[in-house]
Amino acid sequence: MFSLLQRFLRNALKHPKIVLGIALAVTLLSIYPVRNLKWELRMIDMLPDSSEVKKTNAIVEENFGGFGSLVAVITSKDSALNSRLVQGLAKELEGNRYINFVEYKSEMDFFEKHKLLYVNTEDLRKIRDRISDLQSRYKFENSPFYIDLLSNDSLQKVVRDSLTREITDSLSLAELEDKYFSKLRNMYSNEKGTVRIVSVFPKARVSDLSASRKLTRIVSGAFESLPESEKAELYMTGKVFQTASEGWRILPEARFTGIALAVILALFFLFRFAKQPAVFILSIIPIALVFLWTLAAAWLFFGRINLYSIVLAVILPGISCRQIVHLMTRFADEQRNGLGYELSLESALLGVGPTIAISTFSFAAAFLGLLFVPLAGMQELGVLGAIGSILNWTLASLVFPALIELTKKYRSFLVFGKIKGHVENFKERPFVGFKKAFIPVLLLCMILPSRGIYPKFDYDFSHSDYHPNTAKADSLLRETNYLNYDPIVVILPNSKTARSFYNRINRERESNPNSGIRAVAIYQNLLPSNQQEKLSLLTEIKNELDPSVLRALSPTDSARIEKIVKDWKAAPVLSKDLPMNLRKLFGANAGGSTEYAFIFPNFNSNDGLACRRLAKELEPFHYPMTGTALVRASVLNMTLPHFHKAILFGIVCVFLLTFLFYKRFYFSLFTLVSPIIAFFWLLGLLRFLDIPLTAYSCLAFPILIGMSLDGAIQLWNAYYERSTGSIYHILRTTGVTCFFAELLTIVVLFGLSLSSHPGIHAIGMISIFGVVCLLLSHNFVFPLLAGALDRRRIRRRKHR
């Protein structure tokens, strides 16, 4: 297999112009795909298209832009100014093609008009009974045959006034107004009016990065265009703003990180190829092409980059640097040994080409293992990672040598040609100090796993998801009664099913003390319950309050009750009477008889374990559902039970590749010992430092499995090539190159660790720890094993 690959490379490099021509054509063809690539960075985008949660979310977003909005908070000390700004902003946004509807005032008039129908039926019965009691007492006291010998007039007046006051307070619904209507009044404003809220619902999907950024700019621009906007401050929050902020933060951050890493890698390359800086210029081309071609492949296969696959923008160029370092170092060594240019290049490709191929294929296999995880985001990362690995190998083994081959006519690339005496020629010299490496290996194996090696898992999504800085907006929202909740949305076929669903889920919620459901709301909850009975009670109350009873009351109480009776609207509330905003919220936009139900969890949706429990609790209800809690539960359910398959697949493939390369079991075993011990140290280190894994950071392990073979196979291949007594020489040549390559990898991964996204940051940190463990393992475990093998071989020679 590997001889076939080498033959292909040698034949292809006989025609460097054709190789570079094809590379140029592919690069030009990649421009259009890269420019049209979508960046989908929300968690729901990670779910496969077959996910019921994602399908339901698509339906909801088609009708409403998703149950999420852009919340604009306007604040100043002048309440009148705030009112004018809110009215002006709503008018500016009216009819905008990107906006579904705008909410900035509560439906207070509607509920004031029909408030008696929203009173509890039992309370109305009490009011009726009290009025009947008052009327009976009044008629009895006015009877000519009634004489009360036990009480005086003042006591009768106190009793009558007390009963009258109860009736007056009941009819004015003071308690209901204090507890409910006061909250309704302050839903979009605080009591003083110094904080006002405008909620903008989009027509596009909330998770659409481009649309969310555009809507945020539209609202911000509309506010700034208002005449008095400079006298107030505008703050934004909500799901739309979160999506826009994530794109504004992560994408520029990724660009800045890429530029910074390019500069740092340039300095490292200039240091490594100090005498021939032209080599560095040529090395930039394949590194850049890896990134460009992988993005084009992402558009071709998926049309997008997701939050997982974005890490390849840093990982793949770093792996490309490792391969080029190995190739050019071997090329330099051969030139120093007196070989001509063509022979040096051919020897480099034949010498380290197979090990680079093995490292490449192990990296690709580790990524392909992610196909066992049914999460679409991880599967896309697996496919693109494998493609990027193969592209890395192709560009390092074909395009880079072709560039050198073509430009040698203009400049001879005698890399390190003037550096002599720094590296000794190989002389057989048994490695007698190998036993010293046993001490650090033993100490690390004892100290790091002292707290265990089984990693913990952090289910708190607040530690792994991106959260924009909306502290000021959120603090202002808390001054109001704005309903800033994140419910689970259920799509139901009709009102009859909605009522049945409501009754069933409430019964099960009440019977389950550990239920994760706090409340359920359906469209029919908006209409007053038991309307006919309430209307009948209200009619009785109105008939009981005849003029003779009212005249018997004090003038103040009589006037209050007369006003209440006059304002009564004893007519049933129909669906068409409800405010349009409420009707839209529960399905008026969906068309047909479709209705929405809302399930409100009794926990914070950042709690991943609670999300999984709620998803399991809702499994018996076979209706389309979506919501943040269910999205997070789906991500965990599609990751945790399957991720070990990806790890096992990567390990098996790495072993098979090394066995296929060496064709000897113990050669493969020796090569894999140092990576295995490195992973043992890494797991212990994570527990020792109390660093848990998350739904993001677990991706570090496939990346590390792919990286783990590079250093080990380079060292052992050099040892098998040089044989007994070569350890000193290998450590001073190949060992230095491997150290430099690992150092470049740490530099690249450091770019991930600087990300403001907690999940990407965690991937970078765990990957850095892993590479450090690999570096230590190569430096200590390889000389220990190779030294023991040397000693055994020398003893055998002596016995012979």
Range of lowest pLDDT (219-228, 340-349, 438-447, 614-623)? 340-349
pLDDT tops 80 at residue 226? yes
Q: Could you tell me how far CA 502 lies from the centroid of its own chain?
A: 32
Mean pLDDT of the residues in the chain: 79
Summarize pLDDT for 664-674 with one digit per residue, the tens. 888 888 889 99
Residue 193: helix, strand or coil by DSSP?
coil
Angstrom CA distances, 34 to 24, 29, 295, 307, 606, stand at 15, 9, 6, 17, 34
pLDDT at 429: 62
Q: What single-letter amino acid sits at 691?
A: I
What span, in angstroms and rounded, lies between the C-alpha atoms of 797 and 783?
20
Categorize the per-residue pLDDT at 678 as very low, low, confident or very high, splitting at 50, 70 and 90: very high
pLDDT at 323: 81
Q: What φ, ψ does residue 233 adopt, rounded to 5°?
A: -115, 145
What span, in angstroms and rounded, lies between the C-alpha atoms of 105 and 189?
8
Q: What single-letter amino acid sits at 484?
A: N
What span, in angstroms and rounded, lies between the C-alpha atoms of 593 and 220?
37
Nearest CA among 626, 501, 759 for reference residue 614: 626
Q: What φ, ψ does residue 306 adopt, rounded to 5°?
A: -105, 180
Contact between residue 118 and residue 107 where contact means Cβ atoms under 8 Å apart:
no
Distant-in-sequence, close-in-space partners of 609: CB < 8 Å, separation ≥ 6: 459
Give the containing element (helix H, strand E) for 47: none
Q: What φ, ψ does residue 198 adopt, rounded to 5°?
A: -125, 120
The dihedral over CA atoms of 730, 734, 735, 740, expressed in degrees to the nearest 10, equals 160
What is the pLDDT averaged over residues 763-780? 91
Range of lowest pLDDT (235-249, 406-420, 431-445)? 406-420
pLDDT tops 90 at residue 255? no
What span, in angstroms and rounded, lies between the C-alpha atoms of 674 and 773?
10
Summarize pLDDT for 292-342 with one digit per residue, the tens. 899 999 999 998 888 888 888 888 887 888 888 887 777 777 777 777 667
Q: What is the pTM assigned to this prediction?
A: 0.80
What's the token pair of residue 143?
């009877």
Nearest CA among 605, 561, 322 for reference residue 461: 605
Contact between residue 244 and residue 213 where contact means Cβ atoms under 8 Å apart:
yes
Q: What φ, ψ does residue 234 adopt, rounded to 5°?
A: -115, 125
What is the pLDDT averaged over residues 224-247? 87
Instruction: Quickly tell me which residue has 């009776």 as its tokens.
Output: 565
Beta strands in 303-394 (DSSP E): 304-306
What is the pLDDT averaged over residues 149-171? 51
- The DSSP symbol for 201 reads E
**Could you give the percent of the chain with pLDDT greater than 70?**
78
Angstrom CA distances, 280 to 265, 345, 417, 766, 795, stand at 10, 17, 16, 30, 46
What is the pLDDT averaged over residues 245-250? 76
Most confident of 87-96, 130-139, 417-426: 87-96
Distant-in-sequence, close-in-space partners of 153: CB < 8 Å, separation ≥ 6: none
Distant-in-sequence, close-in-space partners of 339: CB < 8 Å, separation ≥ 6: 347
Summarize pLDDT for 553-588 with one digit per residue, the tens. 666 656 656 665 665 656 777 767 777 666 666 665
Summarize pLDDT for 462-473 with one digit per residue, the tens. 888 877 778 888
pLDDT tops 60 at residue 149? no
> Which is more confidently placed, 132 or 416?
132
What's the token pair of residue 351?
């010498």
Contact between residue 492 and residue 597 where contact means Cβ atoms under 8 Å apart:
yes
What span, in angstroms and rounded, lies between the C-alpha atoms of 350 and 729?
20
Strands 517-522 and 488-492 come out as unpaired
What's the token pair of residue 166?
């109860």
What's the token pair of residue 10?
């040698």
Q: Concatenate the DSSP letters of all residues of 628-663 into one string.
A: HHHHHHHHHHHHTTTHHHHHHHHHHHHHHHHHHHH-
Dihedral-angle region of residue 692 (phi above 0 means left; psi in -120 to 50 means alpha; beta otherwise):
beta
Strands, sheet with 195-202, edge to edge from the N-terminal-most edge strand: 99-103, 195-202, 70-75, 233-237
Range of lowest pLDDT (81-85, 158-162, 476-480, 764-768)? 158-162
Helices and strands: H and E segment counts in the chain:
31, 10
Long-range contacts of 54-60 (CB under 8 A, 24+ apart): 54/626, 55/624, 56/489, 56/491, 56/624, 56/625, 56/626, 57/207, 57/626, 57/631, 58/205, 59/491, 59/590, 59/624, 60/489, 60/491, 60/596, 60/626
> Which is more confidently placed, 739 or 573?
739
